[in-house]
Structures are given as structure tokens and as C-alpha cells.
Chain A
Amino acid sequence: GAGVSQSPSNKVTEKGKDVELRCDPISGHTALYWYRQRLGQGLEFLIYFQGNSAPDKSGLPSDRFSAERTGESVSTLTIQRTQQEDSAVYLCASTRENGGEQFFGPGTRLTVL
């Protein structure tokens, strides 16, 4: 079946604007993760959804960041009042089961001018 998809693939925005990033996980995958990857850096965990449990938001860097997921489907990551330091690739991943291998989407490259 189809893999994890993300949209948009690229987003250029002005400082102070809000942006919304979308992730469609693989159908049937119960867990969904968001990561941020700055140029030349490792993956930075942002938030984790597992089924209908409360999400683990421990990685969100500030209250400008929020994410939602409806059931076991689409997730959106919202960044309010974007700053230049938010420029990065935002990756989404899903897993079939807890602790399993992660299937990553192609990412959204966010550039804040």
C-alpha cells in the first residue's frame, strides 16, 4: 500500500505567519510521530500519538507548536507566529505497533524568511 505522505513538500513563509503541516500515516498504523531536522543535524522528537491515548507532547519546543490527530488517521502540526529558527525539515513517521520500525514520510521543508 501507500507509504506515509506529507504535504506540502515545501513551504516558504514570512516570519510571524502561522503554518500548518499535514501527515497521512500508513493505514492501520496506530502510532504517529513528528520530528524536526535542522540542516546537518539529527532528528529532534516533537510529539507522539498512540491510538486514542493522550499524546506525548514533551518534545514540543514552545507553545507556538501544537499538533492534532483524529483517531488513527491524519495529523496536522501547526506552528504559530513562525520564527526563522523554525526553518527545518519536519518529518512524520508511523509505526504498525508500539516500538516497531518507523516508516517516514518525505518531509516538509519549511523556510521562514
Chain B
Amino acid sequence: GQNIDQPTEMTATEGAIVQINCTYQTSGFNGLFWYQQHAGEAPTFLSYNVLDGLEEKGRFSSFLSRSKGYSYLLLKELQMKDSASYLCAVPKGGSYIPTFGRGTSLIVHP
């Protein structure tokens, strides 16, 4: 089966750095996605990791360790607009159908 775990909620201060973790269990790995979802809106793509290591994209970076079944999303220089839910998604082994985690609700306060 497929199992994805991420914290339910995190809070951080504007200007700070926050790391959102995701652990997964899957048979056959096809990559890992991170999406951002603001309240009442649709998810939007943030990053995709298929190889181990850190992928940096502006203020956001995503890390993957396949051997540990672990990823994190790193958000730097937090802004109020970063308050959103962050979804980790892993395609089911051998398919193109992602299983989404329940999402981590990030609250950025002044």
C-alpha cells in the first residue's frame, strides 16, 4: 500500500525559515511532488524530486532521500502569503496516480 505522513500544522514567523517534512512508504518509486494550496483554492505545483538531494528554486527548496523514504520542503524568508497548506504527493508504485498526504497547514505570523 501507500502511506504518506506529514505534520498537520506548523507555525512560523515572517522572515524565518521553516522545514516541512514528509515520510512515505511505497512499492516502486516514481518521484515525489510538493504542492501549495491556499484556503479555498486549487493546489499549485511547487517541486518534483526523483533523485536524492536538494533542489533549490528561489525561496523554496525540496530535499529527497529515497533510502529513508523522506522528503522535506524548505521555505526561506517567510512571507505572510506563504500561509497555506503544503501537500506531499507520491505516485503509486508503477503508476502515474499520485497519493496525496493530508497536507501541512502552515501559519505565518508577523
Contacts and interface: CB of A to CB of B under 8 A. Distances in A.
Contacts of B100: 35, 42-43, 45
A106 B43 contact: no
Interface of A: 31, 33, 35, 41-43, 45, 48, 50, 56, 58-59, 91, 95, 98-99, 101-107
The 10 closest A-B pairs by CB, nearest first: A104-B42, A42-B102, A101-B45, A43-B100, A99-B96, A98-B96, A42-B100, A104-B43, A48-B97, A106-B42
14 contacts: A42-B103, A43-B43, A45-B97, A45-B98, A45-B99, A48-B96, A56-B95, A91-B42, A102-B33, A103-B45, A104-B43, A104-B44, A105-B42, A106-B41
A31 B98 CA distance: 13
B99 to A, nearest CB: 7
B43 A33 contact: no
A52 to B, nearest CB: 16
Nearest to A56: B97
B49 to A, nearest CB: 12
B106 interface: no
A59 B87 CA distance: 19
Contact of A42 (B31, B42, B87, B97): B87
With most chain B CB atoms within 10 A of its CB, the pick from A35, A56, A102 is A102
A98 to B, nearest CB: 5
